[in-house]
Structure 1
Amino acid sequence: RFHVIVTELFRGEGYQEGFHRGRRRGLQEGRRHGASHGAKLSTEISFYYGFAVTWRCLLRHHVDVRSRKRMKALEALLALIHNSPHDDPQSALLQEHTEKLRAKFRQVCSMLSVPTDFSDYTRTPAGTSF
């Protein structure tokens, strides 16, 4: 009888210790994953912002109809960036807004006749961190 009580006591303590260690490890891994995902999203949005500002500067003195349409699309892209809930990672709208932002970026690239795949230009060198 004593053996059963001691066994149950150790099993209970082992369970509690394992549960707490697992919870701590899960929180650490979750934070690490969130920081990594957040950094990637931040890099992407920053790239879109720099892209839009640069093209806006290049087109600001052009007054033809085509350039005005391009400027309007660039302004819409910048407005999406400024109104983005990217500073609130808990926002339920973050994923939807990011998809709209990517779609607007592709539209602007199409209007400007530039490729949408900038992955070769946006990769950070090995060893670089935020």
Structure 2
Amino acid sequence: MSEQLFDSIVMAEEIFHGEGYKEGYERGAHRGLQEGRRHGAMHGARLCAEVSFYHGFAVMWKCLLQNNKDPRSRKRAKALEVLLCLLENSPLDDPHSERIKEDMDKLRAKFRQVCSMLNVPADFHNFKLGEGTSF
């Protein structure tokens, strides 16, 4: 009986250290998951806004150029078609895809090319959500 009492006193620091580590690890893992989900949702929303902007931009310009028959307009319309094709074929709905970064780089490059052909600024950041809207 006295040996058990003595062992519990001697081992108390080690026992409490182990329990504290376990509790801290569980809390940290839970908090890390919460922060990871929040970061993923925020990053996903930005990516979605960017892709949606590109899609709307391409559809609008395609409609504006569809009645023009000059060679420059046809070339621009062809570039817009390629941009729309890239948008449709990108696996952006799969967050685990390893091609997302590559596909976004291609989309951004094609968008800049189309903007250059149309003589419009290629800065998506001017069109962030909430800026410039009247409602």
* TM-score above 0.5: yes
Greater alpha carbon shift after TM alignment, 93-102 vs 111-120: 111-120
- Structure 1: segments with no counterpart, 5+ residues: 126-130
> Does the 8 Å CA contact 2:58/2:80 hold for their aligned counterparts?
yes
How far apart, CA to CA, are the structure 2 residues paired with 1:33 and 1:98? 19
Q: How many residues align?
A: 125
Residue type of the alignment partner of 1:13: E
1:42-65 residue CA offsets vs partner (Å, 9 max, x unmatched): 000000000000000000011111
Q: Which runs of 5+ in 2 are unaligned?
A: 1-6
Give the aligned partner of residue 36 of structure 1: 42
How many Å apart are 1:119 and its aligned residue?
2.3
Q: TM-score, normalised by structure 2?
A: 0.88
Of 27, 47, 52, the match for 1:46? 52
Identity of paired residues, percent? 61
Residue 85 of structure 1 deviates from its aligned partner by 1.4
Which runs of structure 2 are paired with 1:6-45 in the superposition (5 Å)? 6-45=12-51
Q: Report the AA paired with residue 81 of structure 1.
A: L
The 8 Å contact of residues 83 and 110 in structure 2, kept in 1 or not, is answered as: yes
The answer for the alignment partner of 2:4 in structure 1 is none
Question: Which amino acid is the alignment partner of residue 125 of structure 2?
Answer: S
Runs of at least 4 residues of structure 1 off by over 3 A?
none
Cα separation, 2, equivalents of 1:37 and 1:65:
40
Distance 1:52 1:60 in 2: 12
Deviations along 1:17-72, whole A, 9 cap, x unmatched? 00000000000000000000000000000000000000000000111111111011
Give the secondary-structure state (helix, strand or coil) at the position aligned to 1:56: helix
Distance 2:127 2:40 in 1: 24
TM-score (norm 1): 0.91
RMSD: 1.1
Larger Rg: 2
